[in-house]
Structure formats: structure tokens, C-alpha cells
Amino acid sequence: MTTNSIRPPHDLFEPCGVTEPYVSRMANRLHRTLDSLFGRLALLVIVVLLLSHFAGYALFRLEGDQMQARYAVEEAVFLVDAVRQHIASTPNLPLPSRVRVVELLSATVPPLPTHTDTPFSRFLDAVRERMPPGTEVRVGKLGKAPPTLWVHQSGDRDWIVVPLQPLGGPRPLENTVLWLTLIFVSAVMAGLFAAWQLQQPLRSLASAVTRFGRGQPVPPVTERGPRELRQLTHGFNQMVQEVARTENDRAVMLAGVAHDLKTPLARLRLRAEMMDEVKVRDGVVRDVDSMTHIVEQFLVFAHDGADRSEAVEVDAQCERVVRSYRAVGEGAARVLTDLKAGPGFLLPAATLDRILSNLLDNAHAYGAPPVMVATTRTSMGYTLSVQDNGGGIAAQDLINASRPFVRLDPARGGSGHSGLGLTIVERLVRRAGGEWELGNHDGRGLRILMSFPLASIPAPILLAPLVPEALG
């Protein structure tokens, strides 16, 4: 008895040369993040908060210095006026310890300032503007000792010396930077939370739009967020309901007509086979077979349900389908395969069979051998392609090739075809979570390239190994 081995998940298959460097993966992830709505809102919030914090800090420092200078000027003018009034009203009372009166010709009078563009020179100019005209103002003891202000008005016999409010330099940055950092981090967190709250309903709506574009079932999207976003979501839900109702009516009508035609076609074939004349009988049988094929295509096209068949390995299933096609298809011997995707490439069996049968029939009817069925593994997922070596499709007709009930002349001149083959393939690919590309490859033949990202690949069924003890 053979034992079943556990098959690892498909995303663990990583062929050589496919793994991207770590730095490249991080760069791609960062690009995807910044390209999203949340990333752009977060970047906008951070930039705006940085600019506002820097501008506020610069304004705070500038206004703080100016306020300190104005306060020092007002305090000095007030002290000088108070001392003058004290001397005039009560000359016998002693002055405060830090206030004194110096004779006009004393040797201790400080000299005039030599630099005119210093904080003290600007301070002295401001004090002079607040004093009566002709007032002389000087600053004494500009060392480690606290500075003093010397004031002499015209008519005074002495210098009035008062303590000066020191004009300190800018305050230390430690406390200011700490508080600014805390405020900035709190504001960024609040902004990111608001951006995340706005992004969530948009992400749900974008996911629903993607599913709707692929023809997959779309449940109603919850209406949340700002008023405009709720209106958009409500309109999308109504559109999905109307489209689903129209599609259902169309599918029921088409399926009913096709189903009702199967019985008279079967009777017609039976009567044709009972004809005596061989040529007439063969012609009628061929026509009935063509009509039966069209009816079957109608039924497949009208089928709108999800594929619940078991997921199979695409490479193995492609080999089986091609082998069967070679055996039963007339003139279909030259169908080649180039299957390199590996066992991680899985698709629902019924979906894969319908895709391959429609594409092989299309290539056999309108292309030229050899027909190539190929699979490969890419950094983003897997690809499946079918290519023939015929004349291809004119560039102006490529956009209409996958539309339902469209036949391209003269290429679509055969019988037994309804113009639904490529339409069915496109619908099946999108329902499976993939994308397709229709075009002429290298100037020869039509190629249908189907890409399936890793997220769309169904997970394989893990089978536990049969333990000999359990077999008893």
C-alpha cells in the first residue's frame, strides 16, 4: 500500500531565480503602502503636522524673545520713575539696597556703548524712546555680575542706578523639544486613526468593485463613513442589485430557451439518422450537431453560479485534457505543452476544463497548428496561455473578440459557433480571480494569456500520512 504524503501549501513553492531580494521586497511594499489612500493620507498628516509644529515653534521663540525685551524695558522705566518720585518726595528716606544715586561726575559712570548692534544697545534705544527727550542711558557691569541701568535726565543732578532685568539667551531646547515631540506624536496618532477610519469603508467598497468586475457574487457593502461615501456605497449596492436582477432574468430566459431546444434537436437527430440517403443524412446530422453545440454554449454562458468543484493541479490537468483532445479531436494531433508552473498552481477542475476546451476548440477552428498550452510561475503568481500559429485577429477587432454573440469575419466563418467561446473563457478566468490578455503573439497566431495572482489560488487539501500502526 502506498502512503500519502502531506503536500505543502502552494506559496511554499519558490523556484530558483524568482525570490526577490529583501530590500526590493521592502521597497515594493513601501511603494504599495504609499500608493494607497491610507498611505497618502498618513503622509499628508505627517507633513502638515511637521510644518505646523516647526512654524509654531519658530513663532513661539521669536515672540518669547520680544515679549521678554518689552517686559525688561517697561520694568526699567517703572523703576527709574519710582526712584525719581521717591527722591523728590522723601529725600531723607534710604533707597532700596540695589538702587542708588551716583554723582554726575563720578568716575564710576560707565562709558558709552561702542557696539550699536547688540541686544543691550537695542535695549537702550528702546528705553530712550520711553524716556523724555535728552535722557542719557547707559549699562554698567556687563560681566558675571548682574547688569545695572544708569539713567540721567536733563535737569537731574545725579545718575539714577537701578537693577536691570537680565536679557537671557534662548531657553534650553530639552523641555521644549520633549513637549513638542509628545504633542506631535499624539497628533500623528490621532491623524492616522482618522485616516484609517476613512480608509476602511473605501477598502471594502474597492474590494466589492473588484469582485463585481470579475463576475463574482457581491454581498451588500455596509454603508458607513462620511455622507458622500455613504451615498456612493448606497448607489453601488443599488447598481449591483439591478445588474444581478437583469443578469438573472437574462440567464433564466437563455437557459430556458436552450433547454427547450435540446429535446426537439434530439428528435431531429434521431429522424435524420433514419434517412436512407447518406449525403442528406450526414448533412442534417452535422447541422444538428452544430445546433447542439450552440445550445450547450448558451447553457454554459447562462450558468452564473460559483464553481464548487475540487481544485486540481493545472499542469497535470492540462496534460490530461490535451491527451484526450489529441485522441478524439480530428486533426488535433499537433497540440504541444510546456508546463512549468509546478504543483502549486491549482484551479477548480470544472473551470479549468471549460477554459481549455473552449480555447482548444477555438484554436482548432480558426488557428493553425501547432497549438501550444503553457504554464509558468512568476513572482506575482502563475500564468496559463494557449497559442496557435494561425493568422491571428486584426488589431481593430481584438476589442470585440470577447464580446458575446460577436463573430469576426472572415475568421469566424465556420458553422456551429455562437460567438460565446472567448466570452465564456473571460468570465471563467475573472471568476477564478485572474486576469486575461488577448492578442497576437510575435506577429503570428492568437495567444490568450491568463494570469492568476497567488491570492486567487485555492489552498490545496492536506492529507494526513497513513501511519502503519493505524492500518492495524
Beta carbons of 346 and 313 less than 8 angstroms apart: yes
For residues 457 and 330, membership in a common domain is answered with yes
Measured distance CA(342)–CA(122) in Å, rounded: 82
pLDDT over 60 (residue 381): yes
Q: What's the rounded mean pLDDT across residues 249-273?
A: 70
pLDDT at 337: 92
Measured distance CA(383)–CA(425) in Å, rounded: 14
| 62 vs 362, more confident | 362
pLDDT in tens, 278-292: 777 777 777 777 677
For residues 8 and 120, membership in a common domain is answered with no
pLDDT over 80 (residue 257): no
pLDDT band at residue 296 using 50, 70 and 90 as cut-offs: low
pLDDT at 310: 86
**346 DSSP assignment:** E
Query: Which range of residues forms the domain containing residue 435?
Result: 1-22+309-472
pLDDT at 87: 81
Least confident residue range of 170-174, 321-325, 336-340, 460-464: 460-464
Measured distance CA(157)–CA(106) in Å, rounded: 11
- If you write DSSP's letter for every residue of 181-229 in order, what string do you get? HHHHHHHHHHHHHHHHHHHHHHHHHHHHHHHHHTT---PPPP--SSHHH
pLDDT at 288: 72
Q: Is residue 17 part of a domain?
A: yes
Among 395, 375, 372, 378, residue whose Cα is nearest residue 447: 372
Upstream peptide bond of 370 is cis (omega within 30 degrees of 0): yes
For residues 65 and 17, membership in a common domain is answered with no
**Global pTM exceeds 0.75:** no
For residues 3 and 87, membership in a common domain is answered with no
User: Percent of the chain scored above 90 by pLDDT?
Assistant: 8
DSSP three-state, residue 265:
helix
Q: What's the rounded mean pLDDT across residues 464-472?
A: 40
| 436 vs 16, more confident | 436
β 371-377/335-339 pair status: parallel
Beta carbons of 417 and 365 less than 8 angstroms apart: yes
pLDDT in tens, 230-245: 888 889 998 988 887 7
For residues 111 and 17, membership in a common domain is answered with no
For residues 101 and 2, membership in a common domain is answered with no
AA letter at 74: E
pLDDT at 346: 94
| 271 vs 384, more confident | 384
Q: Is residue 220 part of a domain?
A: no
* Number of domains the chain contains: 2
Q: Is residue 406 part of a domain?
A: yes
Q: Which of 116, 148, 163 is the last residue of a domain?
A: 163
pLDDT band at residue 404 using 50, 70 and 90 as cut-offs: low
Pick the most confident of 105-109, 124-128, 137-141.
Answer: 124-128
- For cell 436552450, what's the residue? 258
Q: What's the rounded mean pLDDT across residues 76-90?
A: 85
For residues 4 and 131, membership in a common domain is answered with no
Least confident residue range of 368-377, 401-410, 446-455: 401-410
pLDDT in tens, 408-464: 554 444 444 445 668 778 888 888 888 988 888 776 788 999 999 988 888 765 444
For residues 98 and 4, membership in a common domain is answered with no
| 61 vs 158, more confident | 158
Q: Is residue 120 part of a domain?
A: yes
For residues 11 and 90, membership in a common domain is answered with no
pLDDT in tens, 36-61: 767 777 777 788 888 787 777 777 76
CATH number at residue 389: 3.30.565.10
For residues 314 and 412, membership in a common domain is answered with yes
pLDDT at 173: 59
For residues 16 and 113, membership in a common domain is answered with no
pLDDT over 80 (residue 66): no
* 7: its cell numbers: 503536500
What sign for the dihedral angle of Cα 73, 78, 79, 81?
Answer: positive
